[in-house]
Amino acid sequence: QKEVEQNSGPLSVPEGAIASLNCTYSDRGSQSFFWYRQYSGKSPELIMFIYSNGDKEDGRFTAQLNKASQYVSLLIRDSQPSDSATYLCAVGRGGGYNKLIFGAGTRLAVHP
């Protein structure tokens, strides 16, 4: 079992729709959770982080965390073609050192 699992996709959504990206993790001691966006041939860039159970909203993005289910998700509202990228879920183990374990990423394709 991988430590951080994501569906590789591609997830195809029409422009203007809500894209839902999911991630599960195996380490119950994980304390911090990150979503990175990576365009093809580019480096990862942080979109959002979440530490507490519940929802966290930032513009068109909402991160959701459920530690009991070991599940974190990213919702993208009003999806745009420019959102087409690979979305990487990363989990931090805490303990004073934020070593990130990355999932393999979900490729999102937003079509006009």
Partner 1 sequence: EAGVVQSPRYKIIEKKQPVAFWCNPISGHNTLYWYLQNLGQGPELLIRYENEEAVDDSQLPKDRFSAERLKGVDSTLKIQPAELGDSAVYLCASSAGTSGHNEQFFGPGTRLTVL
Question: What are the residues binding partner 1 (CB under 8 A)?
Answer: 4, 8, 31-32, 42-46, 49, 51, 88, 90, 92, 94, 96-100, 102-105
Is the CB of 18 or the CB of 46 nearer to partner 1? Answer: 46
**Closest distance of CB 16 from partner 1, Å:** 28
Secondary structure of residue 6 in the 3-state scheme: coil
Tell me which amino acid residue 105 is. Answer: G
**Closest distance of CB 78 from partner 1, Å:** 25
Cβ neighbors of 48 (< 8 A, separation 6 or more) are: 34, 35, 56, 58, 61, 63, 74
Is the CB of 13 or the CB of 90 nearer to partner 1? Answer: 90
